[in-house]
Amino acid sequence: MNITPFRLSGVGRSKKSRPSAFTLVEVLVAMSIMVLVLIGVLAVQFFGMKLFQLTKSKLGASDDARKAIDLLVTEIRVAKMIRIGNGGLGSPNFTDCGPNTPQQGGAIQIYATTNTNSFVRYYFNSSSNRLERTPNGIAASTVVANFITNRYPIFTSEDAFGNTNYDNAKNHVISMRLEFYQTQYPIIPIGPGSYYDYYRISTKTAQRVF
């Protein structure tokens, strides 16, 4: 009778052939690396979200103002006469700059024809810090831009070299500058610790020579 001996599992195996396990130090190091990678991914994600909100707020804040500025630029280009001064809603609530004085102010009056009784006026409303637009004969205005800080001057008549005119020159350049202290859409405080608390829209337009 032959007897075949057998070995118990693992008995007599060398230490090199036995399966190895992670030590506590290795586990802690792996977990630390994984946590650092996760924190980095979340930081990039939050930064992307903040950048998206910044761009969205800035574009939304100036969108309506940009549309209104486009209308203002068009009206200036086709105007027959332009007067800069100070004024408000209603007629004749406008005073233009006199001769030999800087042609700059918080309002501009644009005449599409040589008829001085037909015009469009853009003016700064100091009670609401808004730039508003009103055609002659209409006792109402539309809002061009909100939250304006630069009360004076908003409109300036300049020569070809950017110098302020002292008379109502025919071929002048109309410069407009609007400064805002917060965004419009949505209205959120965006100063230190957030995005920004100030931005500016400026443009220069000249009349077409007919």
Q: How far is it, in rounded angstroms, from Cα 74 to Cα 85? A: 20
User: In terms of residue numbers, what domain contains 111?
Assistant: 32-206
Number of domains in the chain: 1
* Of 185, 197, 181, nearest in space to 64 by CA: 185
pLDDT in the model for residue 33: 92
Give percent of the chain with pLDDT exceeding 90: 14
pLDDT in the model for residue 27: 85
Helices and strands (H, E) in the chain, number of each type: 1, 10
Strands 94-96 and 81-87: antiparallel
User: Which of 207 and 151 is assigned the larger pLDDT?
Assistant: 207
Per residue in 166-193, pLDDT (tens digit) is 987 777 899 988 887 655 455 555 444 4
Query: Which residue, chain included where needed, has tokens 């829209």?
Result: 201
Q: How far is it, in rounded angstroms, from Cα 183 to Cα 196? A: 9
Highest mean pLDDT among 60-64, 156-160, 199-203: 156-160
Flag whether 11 is in a domain. no
Flag whether 83 is in a domain. yes
Residue 44, CA atoms < 13 Å, CB-side half-sphere:
5
Flag whether 93 is in a domain. yes
**Residue 3 binned pLDDT confidence (cut-offs 50, 70, 90):** low
Flag whether 9 is in a domain. no
> Running DSSP on this structure, what letter comes out for residue 14?
-
Mean of pLDDT values over 8-17 = 52
Tokens of 29: 């190091």
Per residue in 64-95, pLDDT (tens digit) is 567 767 888 889 888 888 999 998 887 678 88
pTM above 0.75, yes or no: no
